[in-house]
Amino acid sequence: MSLKSGQSRTAAVFIAPSLIPLVLFLILPMLAAGVLSFTTWDLLSPPTWVGFENFKALLHDANFRNALQNTLIFIAGYLPLVYILGLSAALALDRKFKGSMALRAAFFLPVITSWVIVALLWKWILNPNGGVVNSALHLFGIQGPGWWTSKSWAMISVIVPSAWKDLGWVMLILLAGLQAIPPEYKEAAAIDGASKRQILLHITLPLLTPASFFVLVISLINNFQVFDQIWIMTSGGPEGSTSVIVEQIVKNSFAYGKMGYASAMSMSLFAIIMAVTVIQIRLQKKWVNYA
Amino acid sequence: MKGMKSKFWAAGIAGLLIASVGLVSNTVAAASKTTINFFTFTAVPDHMKDLQAMVAAFEKKNPTIHVNIQSASYADYWTKLKTRVAGNQTPDAFELNYENFVTYAAAGTLLDLSKESKKDKSFKKSIYYGKAYDVFNLRGKQYGVPASFSTVVLYYNKDLFKAAGVEAPKANWDWSDEASASAALKAKLPAGTYADFQPTQFWEFYKVLGQAGGSFLSADKKTALFNKQPGINALNWLVGKTVAGYTPTKAQMGTLADDAMFKAGKIAMYHSGIWLFDSFKDAPFGWDIAVEPGGVSPGNHFFANAVVASAKSKYPNASWKWAQFMTSDPAAIKIRLGANWEIPAISNKATLSSYLSKTPPANRAAVFEALKNPVTPPVIRQQNEMQDVVNAWLEKALNGSISVTEALNSAAKDVNAILAKE
User: Domain extents for chain A?
Assistant: 55-287
Judgement on whether residues B260 and B389 belong to the same structural domain of the protein: yes
Identify the bridge partners of residue B149 per DSSP, sorted by sequence position: B304, B343
Verify that B298 and B309 share a domain, yes or no. Answer: no
pLDDT in tens, chain A (291 residues): 566 767 888 999 999 999 999 999 999 999 999 999 999 999 999 999 999 999 999 999 999 999 999 999 999 999 999 999 999 999 999 988 999 999 999 999 999 999 999 999 999 999 999 899 999 999 999 999 999 999 999 999 999 999 999 999 999 999 999 999 999 999 999 999 999 999 999 999 999 999 999 999 999 999 999 999 999 999 999 999 999 999 999 999 999 999 999 999 999 999 999 999 999 999 998 899 886
Of A124, A146, A258, the CB nearest to B255: A124
Calculate how close chain B gets to A25, using CA atoms only, in Å. Answer: 15
Inform me whether the C-beta atom of residue A62 falls under 8 Å from chain B C-beta atoms.
no
Kindly list the residues from chain B whose CB atom is less than 8 angstroms away from the CB atom of residue A44: 82, 85-86, 103-104, 107-109
Same domain? For B78 and B48 the reply is yes
By Cβ distance, the residue of B79, B103, B251 closest to A149 is: B251
ipTM for this prediction: 0.88
The total number of residues shown for chain A amounts to 291
Range of the domain at B190: 152-302+376-420
Name the pTM for this structure. 0.87
Q: Does an H or E element contain A40, and which?
A: strand A39-40
Distance between alpha carbon A9 and the CA centroid of its chain, in Å? 38
Residue B210 counted as domain residue: yes
Q: Is residue B398 part of a domain?
A: yes
Q: Does residue B98 lie in a domain region?
A: yes
A149 Cβ under 8 Å from any chain B Cβ: yes
On whether residue B352 sits in a domain, the answer given is no
Q: What is the largest CA-CA distance in chain B?
A: 102
Which of B108, B385, B392 is the closest to A45 by Cβ? B108
Do B283 and B398 belong together in one domain? yes
Where helices occur in chain A by DSSP H, the ranges are 5-22, 28-36, 53-59, 62-92, 100-108, 115-125, 132-139, 154-179, 183-191, 196-199, 205-207, 209-223, 228-233, 245-250, 259-287
Residue B362 lies in a domain: no
Say whether pLDDT at B212 is over 50. yes
Q: Examine the domain organization and report whether B298 and B326 are in the same domain.
A: no
Cα–chain-centroid distance for residue A284? 19
Indicate which of B76, B81, B82, B399 best probes the interface with A, i.e. most A CBs within 10 Å of its own CB: B82
Is the domain of B290 the same as that of B328? no
Q: Same domain for B219 and B141?
A: no
- Residue B13 predicted with pLDDT over 70: no
Q: Is A29 on the interface with B (CB under 8 A)?
A: no
Q: What is the largest CA-CA distance in chain A?
A: 77
Same domain as B219, residue B249:
yes
CA B127 to chain centre: 20
Do both B201 and B100 map to the same domain? no
Report yes or no: A152 at the B interface, CB cutoff 8 Å.
Answer: no
* Cis peptide bond upstream of A238, omega within 30: yes
Residues 6 or more apart whose Cβ sits within 8 Å of residue A283: none
Find the residue in A nearest to B108 (Cα).
A45
Q: Same domain for B171 and B259? A: yes
CATH number of the CATH domain containing B45 = 3.40.190.10
Chain B residues close to A240, C-beta within 8 Å = 392
Looking at the complex, does the CB of residue A254 fall below 8 Å from at least one CB of chain B? Answer: yes
Q: Is A209 on the interface with B (CB under 8 A)?
A: no
Distance CA B26, CA B10 (A): 24
Contact B236, B217 (CB under 8 A): no
The whole-number pLDDT of residue B400 equals 95
Contacts of B391 in chain A (CB under 8 A): none
- A55-287 has which CATH code? 1.10.3720.10
Residue B165 and residue B118 in one domain: no
**What is the rounded CA–CA span in Å between residue A244 and residue B203?**
25
Domain-located, residue B140: yes
Overall domain count for chain B: 2
A256 near B CB under 8 A: yes
Sorting pLDDT into bands at 50, 70 and 90, what band is B27? Answer: very low
Cβ–Cβ of B103/A257 closer than 8 Å? Answer: yes
Q: Which of B152, B151, B44, B150 is nearest to B95 (CA)?
A: B44
